[in-house]
Amino acid sequence: MSQRTLDPRMLDTGTALPAMSGAALTGIDASDFVFISKTTISSSVSASVVNFDQTAYSNWVIWIRDLHAVSNGDIRIRWSNDNGSSSWTNQNYGYALNGGRDGSNADYGMSPEAYGLLADDSWNNAGAKTNATINLTTKAGDNQDEVCMWWSAGYTDSAYGSKAQSYTAGAIHVVAPGYNTAFEISSEGGNIDEGTITLYGLKES
């Protein structure tokens, strides 16, 4: 078989290089975001639990899209140390800033709570859904396995009149080592019945 030298000047940069089989080279993903899981809520449940390998990455992103609750209530999060089986921490949740289109806001950072507040008093109207982006690290503290998270969200508040179109933003440091194996999304008012929760890991190098 004769050999030919490839002249790089003749390459078409808009076309993938052929593999040995003649197929285009594929499957190379240079993205820093690595898809981990997607949970779809399509029926009424008390909560949605997402567990993952906390040793795979140190930094993560959670996308919550079109989350709907059957009754008015706070949309909230909490963390587990046993993959969401039974053990949940209630330590040091509680810093959020909530506001709406009337220009006022409310600070919920005065005292810890049993859950982390993501959206205060979310409305259960059919068209009122919570959307949020949560950034977090599972290696917060002094080299400890602790969760530190910060987020922003848009939703519809049921209780404050002209503040109906609302946002919330905040940060939470869960000062409880090891409670980073799973998280739970729920509503204080009752079940949740619609939405998706997507988890990504973030490459560091």
Q: What are phi and psi of 161, to 5 degrees?
A: 55, -110
Tell me, what's the pLDDT at 158? 78
pLDDT computed for residue 28 by the predictor: 46
CB 142, CB 105: distance < 8 Å: no
Beta strands across the sheet bearing 182-187:
47-51, 182-187, 73-80, 116-122
Do residues 98 and 132 make contact, with C-beta atoms less than 8 angstroms apart? no
Given a cut of 60, whether residue 162 has pLDDT beyond it is: no
Q: Any idea which of 49-53, 102-106, 116-120, 160-164 has the lowest mean pLDDT?
A: 160-164
* 192 and 185 Cβ atoms separated by less than 8 Å: yes
The whole-angstrom distance between residue 111's C-alpha and the CA centroid of its chain comes to 23
Q: What confidence category does residue 165 fall into, taking pLDDT thresholds of 50, 70 and 90? A: confident
Q: Among 34-38, 72-76, 115-119, which range has the highest average pLDDT?
A: 34-38
Q: Which amino acid is at 107?
A: D
This prediction's pTM: 0.80
DSSP-derived pairing of the beta strands 59-69 and 192-202: antiparallel
Name the token pair of 46: 């008390």
CA atoms within 13 A on the CB side of 117: 23
pLDDT of residue 136: 94
Q: What is the pLDDT of residues 7-49, one digit of tens each?
A: 655 555 555 555 544 445 555 455 788 999 999 999 999 999 9
Determine which of 11-15, 123-127, 145-149, 165-169 has the lowest per-residue pLDDT on average: 11-15
CA 125, 163, 66, 83 torsion: positive or negative? negative
